Amino acid sequence: MKHGWEGVVLKLMRGKNFTLTVQAAEDLDDRYRRLSFNDGGMLGATGTHPTMWVRLWFDNAGTPHQRAYTLLDPNPSTGTFGMEFALHDGCASRWARAARPGDTIEATVQGTGFTVPDPLPSRLLVIGDPASLPAINSLLDSMPLTPATIWFETPHPSDEQLPLRSGTARHEVHHVPRRDNGALLIETVRSALPAHLDDGSYVWIACDTSTTRALTSFVRRQLGVPKERLHSMGYWRAT
């Protein structure tokens, strides 16, 4: 598949292209699906880091369309990893629903990047939702001894059962129903986060773009958290 003008831009920005092959598929529930992939040499060429993501290319009625997905449990020695797809309307979800072992998809690595803080933070303060769940799990895995408080937005009641890796006494999880386009999450975090914040905390935010911007502004401007102790990224746009 040709990648259109976006592919040209990514190539100019030194994006690297690979072909991934589906190895297995598992439905976690009726709204969430996990696929396992062979990396086509990708991990050996690019290396790995926590919360690493790639751009997958989908055919959208004859037009190339790219979406970013986080790698789950990447293993360079075997050249394998997983991805988890929240299923809704759209070409990416249609592809994920139909994907079977042996199917292939093109991927571009460009723009991803995250370094584990050194020294390690005294506490992780994480705000996310099902779209950023694989990245949250990767983040928790990268700092297994670091206490974490997680505010996890749940658009659907079943999202509380999603496989969040928070099964230790060091992890505190607060499920927040999605209401008013993220307003409840913003209100909840603005009220609760200051009590958990200290000079060694690290704040990580990945929700819809509007919510991420509002909370990032709050953390930087009103709480005064320096940029080296904050990572934020809008994972999707509310419509």
Residue 195 confidence (pLDDT):
95
Residues paired with residue 21 on neighbouring β-strands, in sequence order: 38, 104
Residues 197 and 219 in one domain: yes
Average pLDDT over residues 62-77: 91
Clarify whether residues 97 and 136 are in a common domain.
Answer: no
Same domain, 102 and 140: no
The residue segments making up the domain with residue 171 are 123-232
Percent of the chain with pLDDT over 90: 67
- What does the pLDDT read at residue 234? 87
Specify whether 60 is located in the same domain as 148.
no
Q: Cβ-count burial of 199 within 10 angstroms (0-12 exposed, 13-18 middle, 19+ buried)?
A: exposed
Q: Are residues 141 and 98 in the same domain?
A: no
Average confidence score pLDDT of the chain: 89
Report pTM: 0.84
238 falls within a domain: no
Q: Is 40 within the bounds of a domain?
A: yes
pLDDT band at 2 (very low <50, low <70, confident <90, very high): low
Q: What is the pLDDT of residues 94-136, one digit of tens each?
A: 999 999 999 999 999 976 778 889 999 999 999 999 889 989 9
Angstrom CA distances, 171 to 28, 125, 191, stand at 22, 10, 19
Domain assignment of residue 196, yes or no:
yes
Report the alpha-carbon distance of residue 54 to residue 69 in Å, rounded. 6
Judgement on whether residues 133 and 193 belong to the same structural domain of the protein = yes
Report residue 116: phi and psi, to 5°.
Answer: -60, 130
- DSSP designation for 158: G
Residue 174 belongs to a domain with what CATH number? 3.40.50.80
pLDDT tens digits along 5-45: 455 444 544 578 999 999 999 998 888 899 999 999 999 99
Q: Integer distance in angstroms from the first to the last C-alpha of the chain? A: 28
Distances (CA, A) of 33 to 39, 163, 202: 18, 12, 30
In a domain, 52, yes or no: yes
| CATH code assigned at 44 | 2.40.30.10
Burial class (CB in 10 A: 0-12, 13-18, 19+), 196: middle
- Assigned domain for 150 exists: yes
- Rounded Cα distance between 43 and 37, Å, is 11
pLDDT attached to residue 166: 63
Indicate if 133 and 105 belong to the same structural domain.
no
Beta bridge partners of 86: 32
Whether 102 and 154 share a structural domain: no
Same domain flag for 172 and 224: yes
Residue 115 lies in a domain: no
DSSP strands (E only) in the chain: 16-29, 32-38, 53-60, 63-70, 72-75, 80-86, 104-109, 123-128, 148-154, 171-177, 201-206, 230-232
Q: What mean pLDDT do residues 175-183 have?
A: 93
Q: What is the pLDDT of residue 12?
A: 40
Count structural domains, the chain.
2
Question: Average pLDDT for residues 72-77, to the nearest whole number?
Answer: 94
Q: Is residue 185 part of a domain?
A: yes
15 and 101, same domain (yes or no): yes
Is 101 in the same domain as 192? no
Give which of 176, 193, 25, 223 is closest to 105, Cα–Cα: 25
Res. 156 pLDDT band, cuts 50 70 90: confident
Residue 239 lies in a domain: no
Domain boundary among 76, 109, 142: 109
